[in-house]
Structure formats: structure tokens, C-alpha cells
Structure 1
Amino acid sequence: MTGLCVLAAASAFVAGDRLYTAVVCPSLCFSFAILLCWGLGPAIVAQSIAVFVVATKLKHTMGQAALVAGEYAVALGAAYLVIVIGDPDPFHKTATAERLGDAVTIAGSALAWLLAYNLMVWIAARLRLGPARSRRVTESLPYQTLFKASLLLLSPVLAVAAHINEAFVLLIFVPLYAVQRMARLSAERARVARVDPLTGLANRRALQRRFTDMVATREGPHIALLMLDLDRFKHVNDALGHEVGDRLLVSVAQRLQREEPVDGVIGRLGGDEFAILATNLHDVTQAELIAGRLLAALAEPLRLDGLPIDITGSVGIAVYPQHGEDFATLMRHADLAMYEAKRRGDTAAVYDPASGHTSPQQLGLLTDFRQALETKREQVTLHYQPQVSLTTGEPIGVEALLRWRHPGRGPVPTAELLQVAEHTAVMQLLTTRVIDEVVQQVAQWRADGLNLRASLNVSARDLHGGEIVDQLARRLALHGVPPELIQVEITESALMSDASRAHATVERLAALGVGVALDDFGTGYSSLQHLRKLPLTEIKIDQSFVGGMARNSDDAAIVRSTVELARALGLRAVAEGVENEYTRQMLAGTGCTLAQGFLVARPMPGDMIPAWLARQAPPLPPTHPTPAAVLVDHGVNRGLDGVARMETP
């Protein structure tokens, strides 16, 4: 029986993961049977030999083996005490009542073993690791208890079988294998619940539980949560396939693990997002140093299928307790800091509560805006600002502008709203709403006898997805609107964020027959290749240049050069922010095509456009710059008195 106990120990294995592990070994079934047949001493000897065999196989220290052997010895002693009190003799008594009493006694001894063993494990863990960290050791006790209870209750069957016929002992290996298999599957399910299946890192649930342990046991004043997001990971999936993308994530996980903080843990949240918990930090600077080491670990290119792939990422940092006292809050703030790092072009950023777009007020604003789009549609409206020809004064088109009146704050500036919404799914809701209303409004104007082109703005998120093309096609067909009466305005920053996907979407829009305008030209990272490669119809000159023409010769030169560039490429040039007659005359002298601004008209609801058109005077004659305008254009006149400028709200 001792030999079988040692043989069973040789089949032991470790179940669990890096955070929570348990040793599964069936030797207890044999040592407890020895206890029933031959007493406490032989049982302790057999179990101790089995423990040291397991320790050797799993490369544990002899100190650890001695501790576990002691725990087993105490548990066997508690079980033997119950047996002595019950005085069972299952091999010689014949009375049914006495046999039933023996069964109850043996069941009680098994229960005593479980209670004593779990108590010893709990005490040892608290003494070695402290109250909170002991949870990491005792986490697997429920699964171990089920497995060990099964072994203990098989032991009486094994003992009786051995007493009757030694050959019957071999039959015990079938149910023993089933019990061990059950324990392995149970431990695997527990592991899957805590581990990311692709990389083997901790998942969100394990990170949260580890954070709870850190909060209870931290030695330093701070715990940091770092969120790391890979840059342009979608390009790898699109170009090389998801299988290569998965291999890239596994390689990234391996590199990050080499820089895992002491007493910290690295996990994967999903996609290309990773999270790192670090404890015992004395200030935020230490968290930034950890972020630097993690990013440095990714600096060397990976080679996948013979191709070198550069890996870069952005890290957001949130620190307990300054930036949040619970895991969910820290996660949200670290995520916001990570997007702030991407927005600024930095590799890492620490959460800043004072930053406007990451404040709780702005997050609440985003929630309110989503609700307004979904359930309170009357709060969100579109106003239309006319665009007129600078040579004839004839209205040519309109631009759709977003307006939202918050029930508590009143009108919300569009720039503030888009700043918090552009990286979220709310932008898709907004784009869907704008497309539906603009196309429907153009159809209504056509029914009233008006053929006005309407422009609508889209975000970088819309260009990267491409769904906007399909949605426009469906709406144009539904309302019978010619595609040339709709124009999409895109910004240079949207093109720069993911040029290949943005260009593909623009090409599809042009193939649909929809016009494409490059908005806010000159304010972003301008690249003339966009003008050469993209099927554009219009360039919009930003109001920051147009509004400064009368006072700044540099602005005037930029506007004039942009108009000449547009004319050479066969594109319309539209000047935004035209707010006085003098600026209009200067623009007409440059050959600019269209003007848009308060001088022409303020934005107005769509149903007011027909009345506005009816009030317009006959088309204006062509105008040319006055002598004063020429002086400004050549940089002689540095300022004009009496020129009024109305600020755009």
C-alpha cells in the first residue's frame, strides 16, 4: 500500500496559474487507507514519503516539503483521534448496526482530516504572507477540498478491498483516475476564469482580485494601474491576418512579462490592451519609470513570417488612492490617460483630473448626449449655414452644424462636445443621426423646388470604418436625392490618423457621386499629397486665416496661395468665417469661389432656409479689392479701424 501511495505521488501535477496554484496528488487515498488498517505511524510515514516525491518532481524546496508533510501529519492525527474515539473495526464485526456506526465514524474522521488540513494551510499562509496575501494561497481550497474529500471517501473502499483480496486494490485505479480527472477539469475551469486564454496573462477578473489584495497589504503609499494600448495593431490584422496578430500579442505578452514589477502583475484586457498593476510605489514618478521600461521592452522590432514589425504603444497611468479608490474607477481613469497620451503624441500620460476632457463633468456630459441622441431627440438639432458665390452672391449650398441644448447647462459648444465624443461609439450614433436628417432635409427642399447642396462633417472614426458610405447610399436611394447634392467634409487630422483606410473610404464616397471637401485646410499637419491623391471637390479655408486677412499680411498671403492652389487643381475654394464686407471684397479679389460666415447668414433651422432665400437681394455684381485692400494684401497697411468681427459662438 505504501508503494502504491508513492506511485500515486509520482503522477502529481500543478493546477492553476501564476497567481493561484494547487498541487493535485492522489496519494491521500492510499495513506488514509493505511491509517484505517495499520494506524497513525505508518500512515504518516507513507504520506511523508509521497510529499517529498512530489516536491522533488515539482522542484519545490525541502523546506516547503517539510511544511506540507507537517500539515498532512496534523490532519492525519485529527482523523486518527476520531477513529480511536469511535473504535471501528470494519473487518471483524458482523452486526449491521455496528457496521453502520463504523461508517459514521470513518466519515467523521474524513471530515476531521479536511477541517484540520484546511486550518493548517490557512494558518501557515497567514503566518508567512499576512492576512490579505494569504487569500492567494487559500483561493484554491474549495477545489482542493472537493478533490481530497473524494479521495478520503474512496479510502474505506480501498481498505476493505485490500482486506478481502489484494487483487481488488487494482480496481480502485479506475474511480481514482476519474476523481483526478475531475479535479484537473475543475482546476482548469477555475484557471480559465482568471487567465487570458491567448497569452496566459491574468484577465480582468484576476487583476481586480489582485488589486484588492494589494490594497489590503501595500507597503508603500501608492498602487499604480497602467493601461497599455498598442499603436496600429489593426494594421497587422488587416495586412497579415488575425493568426499573425495573435502571435504578435503572445510575443508582446512575453516581453512585458520580463519587465513585470516586483509584487505586481501584468494582464490582458482584450484586443491589444494590457494592464499592469504595481504596488509599493512611493510616488507617481516610479510608475512612469515602469511605463518607460515596458515601452522599452517593445522597442526592438519583432519578426513574424520573415517581416520585421515595429511595436509602439501608449500608456495611461492612474494611481491609488489619488485617482480612485476602487478598481473600476482606476481602470476608467487610466484608460482616459492613455487616450490623452495618444492625443498628445506622447508615449505615456498620468491621469489629470483637471484636464477638461477627462473630468467627471465631461464624462457625465457624454452620457447625457448619448441619452439625448437615443431618447430625447428634440434636444439635438441641426442648423444650416448658407454658402454663397463671391462673384454673383447666389446661394450655392449650406453646411449642417450641430446644436445641442442641454436641459441643465443650456447650449453646449460643439467643439467641447466633440472633444469627449470623438473616440467613443457615440460618434457613430451622431453620424447616423446627421446623415438621416441632412438627406431628409435636402429631399424636403427639393420638394419645395430648391436644389441646395448640403455639407455634413464626419469624424476620423467614420472614415476608418467605412460604414458611412453604405449608410449614405441607402438614405439617398430611400429619399430619391441625387448624390451630387450631398457633400462630406473631412479634416486633415482624420486623414493623418489612418491614411490608408481613410483614403479607401474617400474613394468609395467619390464613386458614389458624393462630393468630398477638405475642411479646416492649413490648421493640421497639411500634406499636399492629399490634394494630389484624393478625389476632392472643395477646399475650405479655415476662419482663423480668413478672419485675420484684414489685419495680418501673412494670413492674407496664406488665403491667396490656398485659393490659387485650389484653382490650379480644379477645386472650389470656400472661405469660412466671413464676417464683414471688407473681408468679402478681399476674398473676391483673390478669386475665391464661395463665402460662408455671419456676413452671409447665421446658421438657422432647415425650415427657415426657404424664407431666407426669398428675402435675398438680386445677385451681387463682381467685386474687386479696393486700394486699401491692395495695401493690406502687400503688407503695407497693418490694421484697419472700424472693422467689426463677430465671434462664432
Structure 2
Amino acid sequence: MVGLLCRYGIGQSEKAAVRAFGRIVSAEELADDLLERLNLDEATAAEAPIGLVLRAFCQELARVVRWDFLPGWPAALQARWSECYLAGAVAEFPFIAVETLIGLCHEHLFGERAMVHRLELDIERALVRLGWCLGGLMAATSVEHEQNFRLAAEDGDPVLGLPNRRRFLTLLAERLASLGAGRQLGLVVLNVEWGRSVDVLALDERDHLRLALSEVMRGVLRPSDILCALGDDEWAVLLPDLRHAAQVSLAGHKLVDACEALRSNSFPALRARFCAGGAAAPEQAGGPLALEQAARSALVVAKASGRPFDIYGGEIVVKAEGDAMFETEVARALESQQFQLYLQPQVALPSRRVVGAEALLRWRRSDGRHVPPPEILRVVERIGLTPLLSRWVVQQAAQILATLTAGGCDLRVSVNVVADDLNDPELPLFIRQTCDTWRISPSRLCFEITESGFVSGEAASAETLRLVRQEGGRLALDDFGTGYSSMDYLRRLPLDELKIDKSFVDRISVSESDRAIVELMVRIAHTFDLEVVAEGVESVEAEAALSLMGCDLAQGYLYAPPMPVAEFVAWWNGVEAAVPAAGC
């Protein structure tokens, strides 16, 4: 404060002049005049919350005439101005107030007299210098708040007020650098997967939900723990000064339990899954990025295993390395075209005449193990190669149809498409161009969509399907009855086929209720002029029951397993030789 006074030329004589003025005019009288001049009387100020804090600031400013030039009063004035600034006052207000105050001091000193004394001029000069000194002090306070706002915007979540990812990495590095001997730094990364009910919430409701979760997490943490917001649905907690890594597990379980309790008690209509992963340094990782990667690896394992929490360890290290190796192998397999499409025949009921086949993805790893298609698709989706795989499947299916045609087999082939495919506006054009390249009719290609795949991005999906159908392709609704809105889809989508899921077909020969459900599905499909395909037919009894119901086509191991194209052609030739099929 002394340096600031010297900068504005306020020495002992100026201080004496201010004290002299304080004996002429009281602080209360000066405050009343200032409030009246700035139109901040009590009634007017009460009309808006900011008016009350501005009024308090002006009253504090008028006490300058009592100042003993110790640091206490300027600090009080700064605190009053901080309240005003945070309430929304303009940064220029302190200068307006100071200028008005100096004008009032001039009036009290000179009134309307033409003659003034030298002492009075010295007092006025001292008050002017002091006024601008106080204005500069308030300006510095405003700048400090602006810097804090900027830092908060850059390093903090704007809704939660928590450190964001940028600040989290800085804090993580600082805590690791200051880690004491024999102590550990724990890290927990918590993720929430919401059901679709959260997608329809208004933005303020989503913010309220995130705030509530952040508060409940704070409630189970120690005062020294640091909660950070890494994303809309992800948090991280730094756990400094731990004695043992087991404390990370305790904290992780407490966080997940607290979040689930909040959801169950305060938001029972919302569905969510809370998972967390943890790690500790230096026991399990050395640097900040390595520690975060370790915690995230544990989080991935927790999600995959269905557990609420996992901590990084030997098993997780092996799994993380295995997953990374498998992802690399899948990407290379797709690039080098190691994948194959096997064909499983579809036959007409009750004649068993072969009318088509479904193309199923197959891949044998370098160790000879066959990888289940769902496992391949999960990895392909995770590493962002779904569009590439889907286009490869369409191209391979068209090539297979050309091969079948060359062998005298005029069948149709079905391929599966996923949610990402339905949101690709270029898919219909790609299908037509591919069919033109291989000189096949698009009507011999059938695209199977699942209900769960159609749920995401419904409007875009429906338009893509309409264009595929317009190009001549056939459409089938796969796994009917296992999704969300089966009946509504039958009404709104341009479908040609309906495929009954294997889970229903398996039980029709042993369960009357399942038989009744399948029979109802067949009737409904025929009402919409759809062809019905039963998947997973493995017994003569199931086939007989489906025939009686009027099911059109069947597919399953009763007829043949999925097989490579060359084997399928040979199998088909054998079937044709034994039972001639019309139309082939």
C-alpha cells in the first residue's frame, strides 16, 4: 500500500490534508451526499440486488476521510468492490464514484466563494490524488477478477466449477512431483453411461443432474482429495498422501455407491450404469499420463466384466496389452482382407427349395482360433473402422452374387448393416455403383437391420433405407421381437422381410406360449405383406411347426452350417441334383 501511495504522490503532507478535511466534513454526511448524487437512495437501491451492494460500496468509499492510512480500510473497500463486480457492476463505476466524491469535497471546501485559501487548495489536491489512487486500486481488483474468470473458463468446467481436463493434467503432474517418500497418489476415473431417458432432458436438467452427482461425490471424499470434471459424463478424483493402494479401491467403491444411491433416490426414472477404474503412483505408474492410462485401463475392464470398480493390476495389464494387440490385429486383418463371408442357406417351407443365403462374417486369427463376429464388430466399432468394414461386406456380397450367377445359381444374398451404416447418406449410391461394377441386380441383395441399430438417429436411418429400397435393394428387419418398437417399425419402414430371432424359434416345439408368440409374429408380418424368415432352425419338429404357421423361409443348421462360397456352390449343386429347384 505504501508503494501505491508513493506512486500517486501521496506523502505526509497529503495525509495531513486528508485528516484535516475529515475534521470539516463527517463520513456519514459525505456518504449521504454521494448516494443522493448517484441516485442510490435506499428505496431506489432496493429495487435491484446490485443497487444494495453499490450503496454499501459508496458508504465505504466515503469513509476515506477517516482513513488512518493503515492497510485495513483499503482492504475493506476492495472487498466491497469485489461484491459489486461479481454482482455485475461495470468496471468504470469506481471511477464514477470517485469523481463524484471529489466534486462533493470541492463543494464542501469552497461552496460558492470566489476566494479560496492555500490550505484549502492543498486539501483538494490531496483528495484528488487520493481519489485516483483508490480508483487505481479498484481497477486492479477488477483486473484480478477478470483474470480469475479467464482462468476459470480455461481450466474449469463452466457448469460444475470443477477443474477441467486441462487443469486436471496440471494438478496430476504437480501432485506427482511433490509426492513424499513412502506415500502414494491415487487416481480414480468414474464414467456414467446413461439410458435414453437422459437424452431427452433439457440442458438445464442435465446440468442439475451433473451438479447433483458432483456434490454427492464431494460428500464421500476427504478434504484433501481433488474432484475434476473430464467431460459431460466423466469425473476424475486425485487422492493424495495415501499409504496403500487399497485406499484407491475403497474410494472408488464409495464414489460409485454414492452416485447410484443418488440416482435411485433422487432420479428414479433415469437409468444409468456407473463404473470406475483406479490406479496408484508410483506403485503402478510413474508419470501423469501413465497413471491416467492405468486408471482408464481398469475402467475398461470394470465395464467389460460388469463390475462397478476395478483397480489396475497384473490381470488388467495382461488384458490391456491383449486388447491393444487384438485391435491392431483386427485393423490389419481388415486392411489385408483376411476376413471372409460364409454363406448359410435360406430355404422355402415346406419344400426346402434353396432361395437365398445369409452372408456371415468369419475370421481365423494367426493362432488358428475363429473369432466370433460380435467380438469383431465390437472392436471395429471401437477403433472407428465400421464404415470401412461395411463397404467391404457390400463389395464382397456383390462379388459372391457374381460368382453364384456364374455357377448357375440365381439366389439372393442377405448382409447385415449396423447403426452407423444407416446414418451414411452415401450408402445407397455406393450399393448401386457396386452392383453395376459386378453386373448384378440390386434386388438380389437384402440388407438386414436390427431394431437396436435403427433406434439411434431414426430420421436419418429411415431416409437411408428409403433410398436403398429405391435403388432396388431388399430390406429385412432382423431379430424381430428383441428390440424396442417392433410393431411401429413394421408400419413405418419400407421392409420386404421379417426375420424371427432364434431365441423364439428354439422353444416353439416345447413351449405353447412361445409357439403362440411366433405364430402371432407370422400373422402380423403377413398382414404387412412381408416374407417371414425363421432363424436358427435346428430340428425337424421346429420346421414342421413353422410350416404349419405359414412361415415362408427357414435358416439354420438343420439345412446346413455357414460355409465358404466354394463349398456353398458345391452343396447347392448337390441339393439341386437331389431335389430340382424351380427358378435356378
* TM-score, length-scaled by structure 2: 0.60
Match of 2:296 in 1: 331
Match of 1:567 in 2: 526
Q: 1:402 aligns with which of 358, 361, 365?
A: 361
Q: Contact conserved, 1:427 with 1:461, CA < 8 A, in 2?
A: yes
Distance 2:490 2:409 in 1: 31
1:369 counterpart letter in structure 2: V
Residue 180 and residue 418 in structure 1: after superposition, are their counterparts in 2 closer, same or farther (change >3 A)?
Answer: same
Match of 1:385 in 2: 344
The answer to whether the aligner puts 1:2 opposite 2:2 as a matched pair is: yes
Q: Contact conserved, 2:155 with 2:163, CA < 8 A, in 1?
A: yes
1:587 counterpart letter in structure 2: L
What's the C-alpha RMSD, in Å, of the aligned pairs?
A: 5.1
TM-superposed CA distance for 1:278, in Å, is 5.1
Within-5 A mapping of 1:15-30: none
2:356 counterpart letter in structure 1: G
Distance 1:206 1:502 in 2: 38
Q: 1:228 aligns with which of 174, 192, 195?
A: 192
SS of the equivalent of 1:210 reads helix
Distance 2:235 2:350 in 1: 57
Distance 1:533 1:620 in 2: 39
The answer to whether the aligner puts 1:477 opposite 2:433 as a matched pair is: yes
Match of 1:203 in 2: 164
Residue 55 and residue 339 in structure 1: after superposition, are their counterparts in 2 closer, same or farther (change >3 A)?
Answer: farther
Distance 2:261 2:542 in 1: 52
SS of the equivalent of 1:201 reads coil
1:473 counterpart letter in structure 2: L
2:414 counterpart letter in structure 1: S
Q: 2:372 aligns with which of 406, 413, 433?
A: 413
Residue 201 and residue 447 in structure 1: after superposition, are their counterparts in 2 closer, same or farther (change >3 A)?
Answer: farther
Distance 2:252 2:484 in 1: 32
The answer to whether the aligner puts 1:267 opposite 2:228 as a matched pair is: yes
Distance 1:352 1:460 in 2: 33
SS of the equivalent of 1:417 reads helix
SS of the equivalent of 2:363 reads strand
Distance 1:229 1:511 in 2: 33
TM-superposed CA distance for 1:397, in Å, is 1.6
TM-superposed CA distance for 1:400, in Å, is 1.1
Distance 1:370 1:185 in 2: 49
Match of 1:258 in 2: 215
TM-superposed CA distance for 1:509, in Å, is 0.8
Q: Contact conserved, 2:184 with 2:280, CA < 8 A, in 1?
A: no
The answer to whether the aligner puts 1:367 opposite 2:328 as a matched pair is: yes
Distance 2:464 2:341 in 1: 26
1:471 counterpart letter in structure 2: L
2:443 counterpart letter in structure 1: E
Q: 2:553 aligns with which of 594, 609, 623?
A: 594
Q: 2:465 aligns with which of 504, 509, 521?
A: 509
1:210 counterpart letter in structure 2: L
Match of 1:23 in 2: none
Match of 2:336 in 1: 376
2:333 counterpart letter in structure 1: A
Q: Contact conserved, 2:535 with 2:556, CA < 8 A, in 1?
A: yes
1:264 counterpart letter in structure 2: D
2:298 counterpart letter in structure 1: H
Q: 1:432 aligns with which of 391, 394, 405?
A: 391
1:367 counterpart letter in structure 2: T
Q: Contact conserved, 2:501 with 2:536, CA < 8 A, in 1?
A: yes
TM-superposed CA distance for 1:2, in Å, is 3.0
Distance 1:365 1:255 in 2: 39
Q: Contact conserved, 1:229 with 1:273, CA < 8 A, in 2?
A: no
Match of 1:349 in 2: 308
Q: Contact conserved, 1:563 with 1:591, CA < 8 A, in 2?
A: yes
TM-superposed CA distance for 1:235, in Å, is 4.2
Residue 351 and residue 189 in structure 1: after superposition, are their counterparts in 2 closer, same or farther (change >3 A)?
Answer: same
Distance 1:229 1:551 in 2: 38
Distance 2:479 2:419 in 1: 14
Distance 2:189 2:197 in 1: 22
Match of 1:291 in 2: 256
Q: Contact conserved, 1:227 with 1:338, CA < 8 A, in 2?
A: no
Residue 384 and residue 331 in structure 1: after superposition, are their counterparts in 2 closer, same or farther (change >3 A)?
Answer: same
Distance 2:569 2:339 in 1: 22
Structure 1: 5+ residue stretches without partners: 9-47, 60-175, 303-309, 342-347, 623-649
Match of 1:40 in 2: none
TM-superposed CA distance for 1:399, in Å, is 0.8
2:229 counterpart letter in structure 1: R
TM-superposed CA distance for 1:563, in Å, is 3.1
Residue 235 and residue 252 in structure 1: after superposition, are their counterparts in 2 closer, same or farther (change >3 A)?
Answer: closer
TM-superposed CA distance for 1:434, in Å, is 1.7
What does the per-residue CA deviation read over 1:480-505, in whole Å, with 9 as the maximum and x for residues that have no partner?
2544322222334445xxx3624651
Distance 1:358 1:525 in 2: 34
Q: Contact conserved, 1:488 with 1:517, CA < 8 A, in 2?
A: yes
2:430 counterpart letter in structure 1: R
Q: Contact conserved, 2:185 with 2:238, CA < 8 A, in 1?
A: no
2:336 counterpart letter in structure 1: K
> Number of aligned pairs?
449
The answer to whether the aligner puts 1:315 opposite 2:280 as a matched pair is: no
SS of the equivalent of 1:224 reads strand
Q: Contact conserved, 1:509 with 1:515, CA < 8 A, in 2?
A: no
Distance 1:181 1:448 in 2: 83
SS of the equivalent of 2:352 reads coil
TM-superposed CA distance for 1:403, in Å, is 0.7
1:290 counterpart letter in structure 2: L
What does the per-residue CA deviation read over 1:590-623, in whole Å, with 9 as the maximum and x for residues that have no partner?
322112123333323335544443333368599x
SS of the equivalent of 2:576 reads coil
TM-superposed CA distance for 1:402, in Å, is 0.6
Residue 566 and residue 365 in structure 1: after superposition, are their counterparts in 2 closer, same or farther (change >3 A)?
Answer: same
Distance 1:545 1:233 in 2: 28
Q: 1:538 aligns with which of 478, 484, 497?
A: 497
Residue 311 and residue 579 in structure 1: after superposition, are their counterparts in 2 closer, same or farther (change >3 A)?
Answer: closer
Within-5 A mapping of 1:549-628: 549=508, 556-581=515-540, 583-617=542-576
What does the per-residue CA deviation read over 1:122-150, in whole Å, with 9 as the maximum and x for residues that have no partner?
xxxxxxxxxxxxxxxxxxxxxxxxxxxxx
TM-superposed CA distance for 1:203, in Å, is 2.7
Match of 2:478 in 1: 519
Match of 2:412 in 1: 453
* TM-score, length-scaled by structure 1: 0.55
Distance 2:420 2:252 in 1: 31
Distance 2:431 2:496 in 1: 21
Match of 1:127 in 2: none
Residue 250 and residue 528 in structure 1: after superposition, are their counterparts in 2 closer, same or farther (change >3 A)?
Answer: closer
2:215 counterpart letter in structure 1: R
Distance 1:54 1:404 in 2: 73
TM-superposed CA distance for 1:230, in Å, is 4.9
Residue 233 and residue 398 in structure 1: after superposition, are their counterparts in 2 closer, same or farther (change >3 A)?
Answer: same
SS of the equivalent of 1:425 reads coil
Distance 2:230 2:451 in 1: 32
TM-superposed CA distance for 1:527, in Å, is 4.7
Distance 1:562 1:392 in 2: 21
TM-superposed CA distance for 1:478, in Å, is 4.1
TM-superposed CA distance for 1:534, in Å, is 3.7
Residue 293 and residue 234 in structure 1: after superposition, are their counterparts in 2 closer, same or farther (change >3 A)?
Answer: closer
Structure 1 stretches (4+) deviating beyond 6 angstroms?
Answer: 48-52, 179-193, 217-221, 296-302, 352-355
SS of the equivalent of 1:602 reads coil
What does the per-residue CA deviation read over 1:151-181, in whole Å, with 9 as the maximum and x for residues that have no partner?
xxxxxxxxxxxxxxxxxxxxxxxxx9xx999
TM-superposed CA distance for 1:311, in Å, is 6.8
